[in-house]
């Protein structure tokens, strides 16, 4: 058996962490990969917010003279067929990705939590119907579901968000339901009932807050897949319509052709998508380790 | 077990029935059908001609009548006619299935071949440099969009060999087919192998903490015997689940990959049919995918009983 250095172990476990600064330093030391993920996310969000200040060109203005210009002084990451600046389009594309990811995750979690809580806490016929609905929705792969949703709702930013949010619902609902089922039997629920609290109030005030940890873990994972699904929809031509610059659509416009002639049009938007999703996943792993140490995937 | 099986099969039927209603309603949620698309692109609308086509396709019927005629056809094995090609839908769908199936099987083989051994390696050497590298690689596998990975592969081929591996049907040679398909299969399989690897790793770590592993070590079993005979055999159960789910869900990744590599499979065909609002194709293909998913889930649950004798389904 190895000798245990108690000071080292205590520090590792985060004992004597003081203040926000201390917590931050502890997080970076304990979860270096998570910290990198957080950094990528901060970079992503700042880019989306300050897109106007970062770019020199309007992402939608065309200029036939620089059509397919390779990366250089004028256009850092080159220009596309219509002479639009690739760097500007990627920076503004961050806004679309962020909007879709936040919107779809929030909507998916909101609906999923409501359904999961109702069916887990109240059970009975509500639960039966909800479970069958979840079965049905999970009989199709996420992207196929999103594709059909997107196609039947029609192209717009809001519809893309809805099309991605709905396939995320069953997953959230299932996790919240199983958590609620366990929480329902807890002594504190019984205590609340004993003091005469209404069932609805118990569900919202006592059960709901306790499902927060798994919800955060799930939400981070959904955030990443929302970005991936958005890019796939856009790539297939069923995502957010023009004039919004979307990373996925930048890759769809005859990308297979540009692989030969203008590789910068293929490389940079892909790096943007991968980097952001990678950041989400790194951060998500760290969050899961903190909130749910038993479940490490 | 018998009662459980009957219950399961009934639930499968309910799920598939629900799916048929869902897809049918969803496709008709928004006004506009194939006639609108045709006439939009023609630019000139002759209402009489439009009505005539709608009548021919049965689109003027009430929605319930349309649904009943679709389902009763389905029960008789008649999938109707594709709107775009005007050929029987079954003739459009069936020939495209083998290509997609081959791709899916190859991708799955790829994911197990890499995912399981690397996951075990990562778990056995937990917190070493190797473990960190493998974890970052697997996480990147979950982060790269598979269509982009496909495009990068195409780019690498152009750069190094000067040509693009384009799929041709009926090359005549089994090995030639295999080589051409394994490239897109790797692009799809990378993601699944990352998933399999992460799950194998966490499942192994969980098992390696158990008492019987310590016992095995204490009685002097060799390190490989402990890792493979004792740990991996117990850790493999959740991995089987994820492989089963991935098998059914590969179709999502295949949609974009078939598009990138220009492969004439069902996955790409589905997207084309959705664009054209070719209802008979979309409805039947979606039902086909749902059946594959539901049956795969069922098989995975049954495999559980075989792999872990402790699990019994009774109610």
Nearest residue in chain B measured CA to CA from A153: B30
ipTM: 0.86
Mark the ranges of chain B whose per-residue pLDDT is less than 50.
Answer: 315
Q: Which residues of B touch A148 (CB under 8 A)?
A: 23, 26-27, 274, 282, 286
Taking only the tens place, the pLDDT of each residue in A192-248 is 999 999 988 998 888 999 888 889 888 988 999 999 999 999 999 888 888 888 898
Give the contacts of B58 (CB within 8 A, at least 6 positions apart).
Answer: B66, B69
Q: With a cut of 60, say whether residue A295 has pLDDT above it.
A: no
pLDDT tens, position by position, A252-262: 866 677 777 78
Contact A259 B151 (CB under 8 A): yes
pLDDT at A108 over 90: yes
Share of chain A above pLDDT 90, in %: 39
pLDDT reading at A249 higher than 90: no
Residue whose C-alpha is closest to residue B264's, from B97, B15, B124, B105: B97
Q: Please work out, in degrees rounded to the nearest 5, the angle formed at the alpha carbon of residue A241 by the alpha carbons of A235 and A242.
A: 105
Residue-level pLDDT at B171: 63
Q: Are A183 and A215 in contact (CB under 8 A)?
A: no
The whole-number pLDDT of residue A77 equals 80
Residue range A73-98: average pLDDT? 84
**Pairwise CB contact (< 8 Å): A256 & B154:** yes
A147/B255 touch (CB, cutoff 8 Å), yes or no: yes
Specify the pLDDT at position A297: 44
Q: Which residues in chain B have Cβ-Cβ distances shorter than 8 Å to A168? A: none
Nearest to A297 among B19, B136, B198 (CB): B198
Contact A281 B143 (CB under 8 A): yes
DSSP B91-140: HHHGGGHHHHHHHHHHHHHHHHHHHHHHHHHHHHTTTSHHHHHHHHHHHH
Q: Across the interface, do B158 and A154 touch by the CB < 8 Å criterion?
A: no
Residue A290, pLDDT score:
85
Look at A263 and B147 and tell me if their CB atoms are within 8 Å: no
The answer to whether A98 and A66 are in contact (CB under 8 A) is no
Which residues have C-beta within 8 Å of that of residue A94, sequence separation ≥ 6? Answer: A44, A47, A48, A51, A272, A276
3-state DSSP assignment of residue B263: coil
CB B103 within 8 A of CB B258: yes
B88 in helix, strand or coil? strand
Q: List CB contacts of B233: < 8 A, sequence separation 6 or more.
A: none
Q: Name the residue with higher pLDDT: B174 or A132.
A: A132
Q: How far is B200 from chain A (nearest CA, A)?
A: 8
User: What rounded mean pLDDT belongs to chain A?
Assistant: 86
Burial B218-230 (b: 16+ CB within 10 A, else e): eeeeeeeebbeeb
**B297-303: which pairs have CB atoms within 8 A and are 24 or more residues apart?**
B297/B244, B297/B245, B297/B248, B298/B8, B298/B12, B299/B244, B300/B240, B300/B241, B300/B244, B300/B245, B301/B8, B303/B240, B303/B244
Provide the shortest C-alpha distance from residue A128 to chain B (in Å): 12
C-alpha to C-alpha distance for B281 and B251, rounded to whole angstroms:
16
Residues from chain A that touch B11, judged by Cβ atoms under 8 A, are: 132, 135
| Percentage, residues of chain A above pLDDT 70 | 94
State the count of interchain CB pairs (< 8 A) between A and B. 145
């Amino acid at each position: 058996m190895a000798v245990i250095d108690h000071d080292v172990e205590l520090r590792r476990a985060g004992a004597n962490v003081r203040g926000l600064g201390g917590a931050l330093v502890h997080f970076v030391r304990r979860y270096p990969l998570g910290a990198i993920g957080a950094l990528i996310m901060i970079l992503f969000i700042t880019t989306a917010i300050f897109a106007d200040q970062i770019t020199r060109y309007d992402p939608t203005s065309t200029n036939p003279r620089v059509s397919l210009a390779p990366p250089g002084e004028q256009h850092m990451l080159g220009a596309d067929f219509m002479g639009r600046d690739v760097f500007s389009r990627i920076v503004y594309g961050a806004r679309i990705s962020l909007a879709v990811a936040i919107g779809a995750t929030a909507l998916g979690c909101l609906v999923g939590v409501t359904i999961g809580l109702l069916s887990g806490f109240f059970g009975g016929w509500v639960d039966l119907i909800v479970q069958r609905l979840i079965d049905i929705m999970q009989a199709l792969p996420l992207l196929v579901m999103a594709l059909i949703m997107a196609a039947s709702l029609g192209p717009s930013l809001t519809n893309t968000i809805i099309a991605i949010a709905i396939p995320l619902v069953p997953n959230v609902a299932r996790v919240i339901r199983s958590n609620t089922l366990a929480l329902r039997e807890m002594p504190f629920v019984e205590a609340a009932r004993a003091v005469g609290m209404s069932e609805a109030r118990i569900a919202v005030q006592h059960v709901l807050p306790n499902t927060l940890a798994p919800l955060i873990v799930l939400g981070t994972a959904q955030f990443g897949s929302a970005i991936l699904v958005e890019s796939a929809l856009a790539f297939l031509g069923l995502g957010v319509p023009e004039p919004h610059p979307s990373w996925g659509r930048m890759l769809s416009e005859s990308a297979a052709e540009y692989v030969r002639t203008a590789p910068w049009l293929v490389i940079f938007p892909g790096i943007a998508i991968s980097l952001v999703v990678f950041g989400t996943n790194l951060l998500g792993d760290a969050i899961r380790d903190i909130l749910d140490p038993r479940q490490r995937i | 077990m018998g009662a459980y099986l009957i219950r399961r099969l009934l639930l499968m039927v309910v799920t598939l029935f629900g799916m048929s209603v869902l897809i049918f309603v969803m496709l008709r949620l928004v006004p506009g059908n194939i006639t609108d698309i045709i006439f939009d692109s023609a630019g000139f609308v002759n209402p009489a001609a439009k009505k005539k086509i709608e009548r021919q396709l049965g689109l003027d019927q009430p929605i319930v009548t349309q649904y009943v005629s679709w389902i009763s056809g389905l029960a008789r094995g008649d999938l109707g006619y594709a709107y775009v090609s005007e050929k029987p839908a079954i003739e459009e769908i069936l020939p495209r299935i083998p290509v997609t199936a081959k791709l899916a099987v190859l991708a799955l083989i790829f994911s197990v071949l890499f995912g399981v051994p690397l996951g075990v390696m990562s778990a056995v050497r937990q917190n070493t440099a190797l473990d960190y590298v493998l974890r970052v690689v697997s996480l990147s596998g979950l982060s790269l969009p598979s269509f982009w990975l496909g495009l990068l592969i195409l780019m690498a081929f152009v750069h190094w060999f000067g040509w693009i591996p384009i799929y041709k049907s009926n090359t005549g040679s089994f090995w030639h087919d295999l080589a051409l398909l394994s490239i897109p299969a790797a692009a799809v399989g990378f993601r699944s192998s990352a998933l399999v690897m992460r799950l194998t790793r966490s499942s192994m770590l969980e098992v390696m903490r158990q008492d019987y592993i310590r016992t095995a070590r204490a009685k002097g079993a060799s390190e490989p015997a402990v890792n493979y005979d004792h740990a991996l055999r117990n850790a493999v159960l959740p991995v089987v689940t994820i492989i089963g789910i991935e098998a059914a869900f590969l179709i999502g990744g295949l949609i974009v990959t078939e598009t990138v590599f220009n492969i004439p499979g069902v996955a790409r065909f589905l997207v084309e049919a959705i664009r054209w609002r070719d209802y008979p194709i979309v409805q039947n293909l979606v039902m086909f995918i749902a059946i594959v998913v539901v049956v795969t889930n069922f098989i995975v649950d049954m495999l559980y009983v075989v792999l872990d004798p402790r699990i019994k389904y009774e109610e």
